[in-house]
C-alpha cells in the first residue's frame, strides 16, 4: 500500500514526465467538429444523451453547450478500470434513470479503448427499447484488441496510438481528469 505522500509525489511526477499528444486547442477543435456532426444527425430527433461517469464528465459538458437543439441528458455509471491502468469486468454502479423507450439514445464517453465498456452499454440500451443507439467518444485508441472487430463510435473526436493517456476526463490512478489536454504516461 502506497502512503499518501508517495502517491502525491508519483501523481505530480507523472504529469511532469508525460507527453502532450493533443493540446487544449486541438481538443476543442475536435469537439467543435463532433458537435456539428451530432447536430446534423440528431438535431431533429429528440434524443436522450447519457454521460458515462466518471470519464465522460468533461466531454459531455463540453459537447452540451455546443448542441443547440432539444434533448434530454442524464448519466449512467459503469467502470472497468476502477482507477487502475488495466481493465477488468464491467461493474454497473448506476443504470440509466431516464426512460428512453422508442427514442434515440446517444452514449457519451471519454475513450473507446478495447470497447468492452461501450459494447455492453450499447447492448443494454438496445435491450431496453431505444429506437436507435449512437455513441460519441472523444478518443479512439488504435490497436487490434477491440472487443468486437466492427465496434466503432459514430462520433469520434481524435485518435491516439496505443498508450495509456489522461486528461479531459481520463484519469491516472484517479487523478488528472482535469488536465487540459491529452497526455500519455511516460513508458506506458
Ligand X SMILES: O=P(O)(O)OC[C@H]1O[C@H](OP(=O)(O)OP(=O)(O)O)[C@H](O)[C@@H]1O
* Residues engaged in binding ligand GUN (CB under 6 A): 81, 111, 113, 164-166, 170-171
Distance, first Cα to last Cα, the chain: 21
Site string for ligand X, 104-143 (x = CB under 6 A): -----xxxxxxxxxx-------------------------
3-class DSSP state of 19: strand
- Closest contact distance (angstroms) between CB of 138 and ligand X is 10
Q: Which does 165 bind (CB under 5 to 8 A by kind): ligand X, ligand GUN, none?
A: ligand GUN
Q: Which residues of 132-163 are buried (b: 16+ CB within 10 A; e: fewer)?
A: ebbbbbbbbbeeeebeeeebebbbbbbebeeb
Residues near 136 by Cβ (< 8 Å), separated by ≥ 6? 34, 38, 59, 63, 106, 107, 108, 109, 153, 154, 155, 156
Q: Does 81 bind ligand X (CB under 6 A)?
A: yes
Q: Which stretch binds ligand X (CB under 6 A): 16-24, 33-41, 58-66, 73-81?
A: 73-81
Q: Which stretch binds ligand X (CB under 6 A): 4-12, 15-23, 50-58, 65-73?
A: 50-58
Binding residues for ligand X, rule: CB under 6 A, are 52, 54-55, 79-81, 87, 109-118, 171
Amino acid at each position: 500500500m502506497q502512503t499518501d505522500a508517495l502517491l502525491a509525489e508519483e501523481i505530480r511526477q507523472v504529469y511532469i514526465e508525460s507527453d502532450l499528444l493533443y493540446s487544449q486547442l486541438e481538443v476543442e477543435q475536435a469537439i467543435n467538429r463532433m458537435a456539428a456532426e451530432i447536430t446534423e444527425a440528431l438535431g431533429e430527433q429528440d434524443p436522450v444523451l447519457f454521460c458515462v461517469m466518471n470519464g465522460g464528465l468533461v466531454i459531455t459538458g463540453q459537447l452540451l453547450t455546443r448542441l443547440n437543439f432539444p434533448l434530454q441528458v442524464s448519466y449512467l455509471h459503469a467502470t472497468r478500470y476502477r482507477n487502475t491502468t488495466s481493465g477488468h469486468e464491467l461493474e454497473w454502479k448506476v443504470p440509466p434513470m431516464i426512460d428512453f423507450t422508442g427514442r434515440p439514445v446517444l452514449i457519451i464517453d471519454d475513450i473507446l479503448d478495447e470497447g468492452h465498456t461501450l459494447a455492453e452499454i450499447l447492448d443494454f440500451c438496445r435491450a431496453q427499447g431505444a429506437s436507435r443507439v449512437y455513441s460519441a467518444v472523444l478518443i479512439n485508441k488504435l490497436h487490434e484488441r477491440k472487443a468486437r472487430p466492427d465496434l466503432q463510435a459514430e462520433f469520434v473526436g481524435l485518435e491516439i496510438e496505443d498508450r495509456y493517456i489522461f486528461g479531459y476526463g481520463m484519469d491516472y490512478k484517479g487523478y488528472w481528469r482535469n488536465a487540459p489536454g491529452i497526455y500519455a504516461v511516460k513508458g506506458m
